A = this chain, B = another copy of it.
Amino acid sequence: MQLGLVGLGKMGGNMRDRLREAGHEVVGYDRNPALSDAENLADLVAKLAAPRAVWVMVPAGVTEATIDELAPLLSPGDLIIDGGNSRFSSDGPRAGRLSTRGIGYMDVGVSGGVWGKENGYGLMVGGSDENVARMMPVFEALKPAGEFGFVHAGPVGAGHYAKMVHNGIEYGLMHAYAEGFELLEASELVTNVPGVFRSWREGTVIRSWLLDLMDLALTDDEHLEKLKGYADDTGEGRWTVEEAIRLAVPMHVISASLFARFESRQDDSPAMKAIAALRNQFGGHAVQQAG
């Protein structure tokens, strides 16, 4: 089928390739003319036959503006799919606004990173049964072969919600491996830490794709000496904990993983300055002067 695709960066570009390999006709638009199949959004829309389906795959920060610019160019019966990392709570209002123009809306959480082009993308979809059925050929092409990698999670918003939880779990999984790595590195007994991670790839309870990647990373750099212990966070981890708070769900593990990222970006910890100050006050404990 024919699909408009807005945003041809690291994710969108690979998705265009995968869709075309599957025989779909993709008209892509990107601000970078070297990547783009259309001059601008209006040109993109003009190149598509109604009823149109336009997949928006841009950074979360510009999704709203992109859809606001796109919507007036579309016609009743057209459909917008947001495959970016929007907060789930923006989906319902957005769908409402578009419906006043007769435009449909779906949200798709897309996992897989740079490996998705080859392995397929995990897709978590929110929207009506009708719209899911309409886009199924595209989903079939993007998802991995076989019975997994796709879910119609619920109504509009459920796709981004499932992707948000996916990323929250990802934070926790990564931190569990990371704590294990740090302990093994500190141990006097284990002399072959990369070998331990490598061995775990088969036959163990903790085998996973993330573990495979950990093996690759340690093959490159046995003690990870080339990297700083620094990690950004991209929104979904925060939203996951916010939802846990809203819904009164205990979330010790994922929140701790999120807080560890915050800590990784601090030059010094204001909280630990307060601890040092208190210890100095009550016990005359030695403190370290800043600078």
Contacts and interface: CB of A to CB of B under 8 A. Distances in A.
Most buried by B among A143, A144, A162, A241: A162
Given A122-B203, A184-B162, A289-B228, A259 B250 contact: yes
Interface in A187-228: 187, 189-192, 195-196, 198-211, 213-214, 216-218, 221, 224-228
A281 interface: yes
A244 B119 CA distance: 37
Contacts of A181: 270-271, 274
Given A161-B187, A183-B244, A190-B158, A273 B228 contact: yes
A123 B203 CA distance: 8
A21 interface: no
Given A264-B269, A272-B264, A203 B152 contact: no
A220 B124 CA distance: 22
A182 interface: yes
Contacts of A263: 250, 263, 269, 272
Interface string A88-121: 1000000000000000000000011111100111
Contacts of A213: 278, 281-282
A213 B209 CA distance: 15
Nearest to A229: B272
Contact of A202 (B120, B180, B184): B120
Contacts of A76: none
Contacts of A196: 124, 151, 153, 162, 165
A208 B208 CA distance: 4
A231 interface: yes
Contacts of A265: 248
A64 interface: no
A148 B190 contact: no
Interface stretch (A40-48, A65-73, A166-174): A166-174
A164 to B, nearest CB: 9
Contacts of A231: 272, 275-276, 279
B170 A172 contact: no
A268 B144 contact: no
16 contacts: A112-B204, A120-B203, A122-B199, A143-B202, A149-B199, A153-B189, A155-B189, A161-B187, A168-B183, A180-B254, A225-B290, A228-B268, A228-B276, A229-B272, A231-B279, A250-B259
